[in-house]
Amino acid sequence: MDFKITQQYIYELVKRTNQEDTIYPSPGTATDNDRLFMVCDGMGGHENGEVASRIVCKEMSRVILSHDDLDESMIQKALDAALDELDRNDNGKEKKMGTTMTMLMLHAGGATIAHIGDSRVYHIRPSENRILHVTSDHSLVNDLVKIGELTPEEARNSVQKNVITRAMMPNMDRRPKADIYSTGDIRPGDFFMLCSDGMLEQMEDKNLLFILSRDNTLDKKAEMLREVTKDNRDNHSTYLIRIDDVKGNGMNKENATARSNVKKEKRCLIKRFLKLIGLNN
């Protein structure tokens, strides 16, 4: 697939004194020709979190953009490169630096999403007023929701909502694997949104869907998102990518011809069967 896109970012410090998020491309440098986007939410205290998130964005983007093919093994190779660099930058403190990771890559086959932690990636189709896909948080409260110990409402208000069960950190005994999702179902008007958990502090999925389904410009949508998150406590970051056009989307001529031939073949077989049993002359 060949995409025409428009992108916007949100990179807000709000009430924090230190920005631990890192986005790729870095703020103000993205163009509509970019196809790789990342949001990483660092943790580990002053400076440590921003070091971890910066390392992961830098190393993963370097590896991914240096290869033409993107598959699960390539994503794991990029993760390993980032984890190796985290190991080399380990400061030896008891409280380790770490980061979440979200990634979106648009390519000839469609889109590939990967994530670790509680930062999210959404695929939204305003024309159908629905969220096609959202990543599942690697967090304690999400695990408790899955087994029925918490309701989604209780999870949103839990004091443990920031406890994550998967992250990228230096010198881990067991390195994390990313959850990976790919789709070829991409249409003009769709949105992909990558965001740190601070973006969703006071916003539910239905509110996000409402904002992105409004009939206004991408700049206006970003402005609305900034407005509804301006009182959040946590710093937050977002990349918002709108799919303006898709070439090669859906059935191409070869696929359409092949499917048409299959249908004709089925009709012929049905006619032969009916004739065989005497129900068709």
Question: Which element (helix H / strand E) includes 7?
Answer: strand 2-12
pLDDT at 256 over 60: no
Average pLDDT in the 152-169 region? 91
Half-sphere exposure of 131 (CA within 13 A, CB side): 15
Q: Mean of the pLDDT values across residues 23-30?
A: 95
Asked if residue 276 has pLDDT above 60, the reply is: no
186: alpha, beta or left? (left if phi > 0; alpha if psi -120 to 50): beta
What's this model's pTM, rounded to 2 decimal places? Answer: 0.85
- Output 47 or 21, whichever has higher pLDDT: 21
Mean pLDDT, the chain, as a whole number? 87
pLDDT at 210 over 60: yes
- 114-124 pLDDT per residue, tens: 999 999 999 99
What pLDDT, on a 0 to 100 scale, did the predictor assign at position 250?
44
Mean pLDDT over 238-249 rounds to 92
Under the banding of pLDDT at 50, 70 and 90, the label for residue 228 is: confident
Instruction: Enumerate the β-bridge partners of residue 267.
Output: none
Strand-pair partners of 115: 102, 179
